[in-house]
Amino acid sequence: MTMTSTAPERALAAPEAPLSIRGLTVVFSGDVTAIDNLSLDIQEGEFVAIVGPSGCGKSTLLKVVSGLVPARSGEVRVGGPAAAGGKPKIGFMFQRDTLLPWATVTSNIAVGCELSGLPKEQHAERIASLIALVRLQGYEDRYPAALSGGMRQRVSLARLLAFEPDMFLMDEPFGALDYQTKIIMGRELLRIWEASRRSIVFVTHDIEEAVALADRVIVMSARPGRIVASHAVEFERPRDPRSLRGDPRFGALVQKIWSELALPG
Ligand SMILES: Nc1ncnc2c1ncn2[C@@H]1O[C@H](COP(=O)(O)OP(=O)(O)OP(=O)(O)O)[C@@H](O)[C@H]1O
Ligand SMILES: [Mg+2]
């Protein structure tokens, strides 16, 4: 996970559009067009999932939004009410945890507090409440090597929450976890998101995960990445991602997205 604030020269969008992307094209050296003329708006508090074939530019899109990769052309505006008083804080979470191996659970989460600018004397209280939130009580003094993959991602999530981002960019955050843990983590993420309702852009290979969690699923084409479909997911909230999977409307939408992915073979 990295935590970045947008560069000062980047434009702030109108308050009602926390993320607005217009005509974005990204070309890497060697003339690899990773993203081609992509436009997308994310609303305040919206949970948007992005699915698409491997190499279609999903990670690149998140990196452009966070300022890690430059655009060739187009416009990316990050703003929203949360950022009205200053620069928006963007939190990034990756598939593999990026915890500091030499630091305990508590110290790893403290990094998020540090970056958020929270006064030092309030760190302990914030860390304790986050540890409770991600259900890791009793593991405060463990090192990452002594935690399971799911627990490490919980610590990453707690560190991300400690930073208090205005927007969450999540790149296959549960992709390395087993099926059961992934479903549990999805449920936990929804529980936390219900409480804060910050905008989330969530990249995943897993169509079922996308439909279970998101308000909207964006389908990207193979490289160069373009948006080929956008589906509103209208299951009521709060949701239980486990029981949703038995709903026939759930299966129908998953099938439709599969057909849109146009996988080779
Ligand atoms: N730094 C880079 N330099 C050159 N090409 C790159 C770079 N980063 C990504 N690419 C290329 O851009 C394309 C999109 O890559 P990206 O990582 O965004 O795909 P992705 O959709 O996230 O794939 P996956 O689902 O496998 O994670 C790929 O063809 C990749 O090889
Ligand atoms: Mg990727």
pLDDT (tens digit per residue) in 156-198? 999 999 998 989 999 999 998 888 888 988 998 999 899 889 9
Beta-carbon count within 10 A of 107 CB: 15
The residue contributing the CA closest to ligand 1 atom 2 is 28
To the nearest 10°, report the CA torsion of 131, 135, 139, 143. Answer: -80
CATH of the domain at 40: 3.40.50.300
Q: Please work out whether the CB of residue 15 comes within 6 Å of at least one atom of ligand 1.
A: no
Give all strands (DSSP E) within 105-204, no chain letters.
Answer: 167-171, 199-203
Q: Is the pLDDT of residue 221 over 70?
A: yes
143 CB-near residues (< 8 Å, 6+ apart): 101, 102, 103, 104
Domain assignment of residue 221, yes or no:
yes
Share above pLDDT 70 across residues of the chain, in percent, rounded to a whole number: 90
The answer to whether 140 and 131 are in contact (CB under 8 A) is: yes
- From residue 206, give the alpha-carbon distance in Å to each of 175, 188, 243: 8, 17, 17
Is there an atom of ligand 1 within 6 Å of 55 CB?
yes
Give strand pairing partners of 220: 227
List beta partners, residue 78: 19
Tell me what pLDDT residue 5 has. 42
Provide the pLDDT confidence category of residue 9 given band limits of 50, 70 and 90: very low
Q: Residue 153 domain-assigned? A: no
In a domain, 206, yes or no: yes
Is 212 a domain residue? yes
Q: What was the pLDDT predicted at 12?
A: 47
In a domain, 243, yes or no: yes
Does the residue 114 lie in any domain?
no
Number of domains comprising the chain = 1
| CB of 34 sitting under 6 A from ligand 1 | yes
Instruction: Give the per-residue pLDDT at 195.
Output: 87
Residue 148 domain-assigned (yes or no): no
Among 14-23, 226-235, 246-255, name the one with the lowest average pLDDT: 14-23
145 belongs to a structural domain: no
Q: Which domain holds residue 81?
A: 2-100+165-260
